[in-house]
Structure 1
Amino acid sequence: MSFLSELQAYSHPKLRHTTTRVTNFLGQIHRESKSEDGTFQISDRSTDSNGIFMIIDNSPDEKLHYVIDGVYIGSQDSAVNRAALNEFKITHIANVATGIRNAFPEQYEYLNIELLDTPETNIRNVFARTNEFIQQAIDNNGRVLIHCNAGISRSSSIVLAYLLEIHRMKYEDAYELLKKARSNIRPNDGFAKQLKEYAAEIAQRTENQPSTAS
């Protein structure tokens, strides 16, 4: 039987049911499947960028979490919580979310870098810019909020990079400090790998610096 004949003989009922994995522009993942009536159904569970299933929580997450002097972390909800921004005397906001506009450009100085929360994103490319932005704000007696969409992966990676480079913290110590500040932080696997490589390079660079001892 020719290939064409095989195709013609194959009936629709013989086709197997399939589920499609879909990643949106935020890096969030869900599953789509086609029902008997021809419509597409989206599962009520999503997976994070590490492939772990989670229930989507749409409740507001408006709190600003203190990390270290001058540095706060939060979600996109915290970035529009004007009362809290004023309460904590925020002067600068690093917005590394996707699709989130600056809410109060007349009041705060912003740094905008759109990042996808996917392991393949090269987040190390922005560490120099974000570290400089954060440190310049602090040097001028300012306070910085770093936020992404959920306040879990991208913003935490930016804060960790700052702690590694500027405060010369070990990765484990920086992670523990940030985890205490905001318990649900979790850089995706790709970001965690890049941060550990970044920490190793900083340690190597520090080790190779000439001693200033007399």
Structure 2
Amino acid sequence: MHSLSQEIRAFSKANLRKQCTRVTTLSGKRLIETWKDARMQVVDCPEELGHACGYVQDLSLDLQVGLLRPWLLLGSQDAAHDLDTMKKYRVTHVLNVAYGVENAFPHDFTYKTIPILDLPETDIISYFPECFEFIEEVKLKDGVVLVHCNAGVSRAAAIIIGFLMHSEGLNFAKAFSLVKNARPAICPNPGFMEQLHKYHQLNNNKNGNLNDSE
């Protein structure tokens, strides 16, 4: 199994575009994740940088949770850090696929943390087996799992799209549509979208029973 550090080292500087993600930690501290010299750097986010990196400063919380199945939810770190929201949806387990986002309530919920970089070059499919195993375990235990990343639009969405394709035999278009309807904000990065298309083709070839009409 590859490690995150190995994956980071495998990236070439030529393949890395300017990438910057704003993160708010559990304590409320604002940080910026950015790539420099092929390394991930995390720095404090001063107020004057509120509009840096192409982000429009938005202090409102994103508590919208996408209900894919009664036991499968998709959301942002804001939802994962809001106890009222977690209780409202009867969450029992959390799959955290963000990079550098803390687990807010370790004594209240069962967590699985798999740090994934939101870059087109990231091999998202390589994380599917471990993520899917956790989700399926929660279902068998009659629990409810919230899958989240930072904004709940790319990494977590790609994981759930892949899971629906894997577990229910859905084609990419159907799985994407279900997730988009449940959480309209989703927008997996172009690399993840391409990999999800290929994942559908792999499943189609392997099972021989998937078709575009499903």
TM category (shorter chain) comes to 0.7 to 0.9
The 5-angstrom pairing of residues 95-114 of structure 1 reads 95-114=96-115
Number of equivalenced pairs: 173
- State the match for 1:184 in structure 2: 185
The 5-angstrom pairing of residues 73-152 of structure 1 reads 73-152=74-153
Following TM superposition, by how much is the alpha carbon of 1:64 offset from its aligned partner in structure 2, in angstroms? Answer: 2.1
Question: What is the distance in 1 between the residues matched to 2:49 and 2:102?
Answer: 28
Which amino acid is 2:208 matched to? E
Query: What whole-Å deviation, never above 9, does each CA across 1:22-75 have from its counterpart, x for those lacking one?
Result: 433669779xxxxxxxxxx9693645xxxxxx6353321123221123110000
Greater Cα radius of gyration, structure 1 or 2: 1
Structure 1 199/22 Cα, relative in aligned 2: closer, same or farther at 3 Å? closer
Which amino acid is 1:114 matched to? P
Length-normalised TM-score, structure 2: 0.73
User: Cα RMSD over matched residues?
Assistant: 2.5
Structure 1 179/138 Cα, relative in aligned 2: closer, same or farther at 3 Å? same
| Matched-pair contact (CA < 8 Å) for 1:92–1:137 | yes
Structure 1 156/125 Cα, relative in aligned 2: closer, same or farther at 3 Å? same
Question: What is the distance in 2 between the residues matched to 1:121 and 1:173?
Answer: 24
| Matched-pair contact (CA < 8 Å) for 1:64–1:73 | yes
Structure 2 gaps of 5+ residues are: 1-16, 23-31, 36-47, 210-214
Which amino acid is 1:144 matched to? V
Question: What is the distance in 2 between the residues matched to 1:64 and 1:180?
Answer: 11
Structure 1 22/56 Cα, relative in aligned 2: closer, same or farther at 3 Å? farther
Query: What whole-Å deviation, never above 9, does each CA across 1:138-177 have from its counterpart, x for those lacking one?
Result: 1110111000000110110011011010111110001111
| Matched-pair contact (CA < 8 Å) for 2:75–2:149 | yes
- State the match for 2:161 in structure 1: 160
Which amino acid is 1:24 matched to? C
Structure 1 gaps of 5+ residues are: 1-20, 31-40, 48-53, 209-214
